Amino acid sequence: MASFIQEVVAIIDRSGSMSGKEADTVGGINSTLDIIRQDLKPGERVNVSIKLFDHEEHMLIRSLNIEDVRPLELRQFVPRGQTALYDAIGSSLTYFMEKKLHDPSSYTKCLIYVATDGCENCSKKFNALTLKKLITSAQESYNIEIMYLGANQDAILEASKIGIEEGHAINFSETKEECEAVYRSLGNVVNRQKSSAKTTFTPAERSQSYTPITPPPSTRSSEPPPLRRQTSMKYN
């Protein structure tokens, strides 16, 4: 009988913009699971859930013992559609909050992470305000923590709109190396939650996962064009 039960929930964007990123995403999810398995100690049980979402949601596994979880395969991840991000998060939170309400011993701690390369654009059940209230309740009363992994956006800003604190959000670049790094960091965060250490991303984890894009220098002159004397004046 496990004395510590942790629920780890992956909410993964598979909208059309994820096309071309399938291998890195699937590899990242699997590497996170490997890191969690390697840290598993006697008396601990980790249950894994994986949900893919676009304008719809597709649950691959729900609360399955990590020792029974097989690696995710490329054929299971097919990008399509839009990004109902808020609905995917909200429905997942509701399920695990109700699970805890029904059976307080169902889990000790729960960590939900969201990985997306875009922003909300088509949710129907939740908006930023209703989701923010739900997240606040989940964190304060249900031992649920939420991590936000964002590419092609200001992840910290987008996470703050729905009540996810700065330390729980991380930007990542879409190179193979930095994608690997952010999922590796996530695995470490999951393990830190078990030990009651801070579940925020560290400065080192942030720097390994993201390379800021420096805009090219401007070729325009900072000086206005010279004035010249004209024989006829025109104003267009």
Q: What is the pLDDT of residues 125-172, one digit of tens each?
A: 999 999 999 999 999 999 999 999 999 899 999 999 999 999 999 999
**Count of domains observed in the chain:** 1
Q: Is residue 72 part of a domain?
A: yes
Q: Is residue 235 part of a domain?
A: no
d(Cα 145, Cα 55) in Å, to the nearest integer? 24
Q: What is the mean pLDDT of residues 88-114?
A: 98
Structural domain boundaries enclosing 161 = 4-209
- Chain-centroid distance of CA 118 in Å reads 11
Q: Is residue 91 part of a domain?
A: yes
**Spatial CA neighbour of 6 closest among 132, 140, 135, 96:** 96
Share of the chain above pLDDT 70, in %: 94
**Residue 138: which CATH number?**
3.40.50.410
User: Which pair of structure tokens corresponds to residue 204?
Assistant: 């080192």
Q: Is residue 33 part of a domain?
A: yes
101 pLDDT above the threshold of 70:
yes
Q: Is residue 224 part of a domain?
A: no
Residue-by-residue DSSP string for 50-101:
EEEESSSEEEEEEEEEGGGPPPP-GGG----S---HHHHHHHHHHHHHHHHH
Instruction: List, in sequence order, the alpha helices (H) in the chain.
Output: 22-38, 85-102, 128-141, 155-160, 176-194, 203-209
236 pLDDT above the threshold of 60:
no
Q: What is the pLDDT of residue 234?
A: 65
104 pLDDT above the threshold of 90:
yes
Q: Is residue 60 part of a domain?
A: yes
Q: What is the pLDDT of residue 24?
A: 96
CB 92 within 8 A of CB 51: yes
Confidence bin at 233 (pLDDT 50/70/90)? low
Q: Is residue 115 part of a domain?
A: yes
DSSP state of 236: -
Q: Is residue 231 part of a domain?
A: no
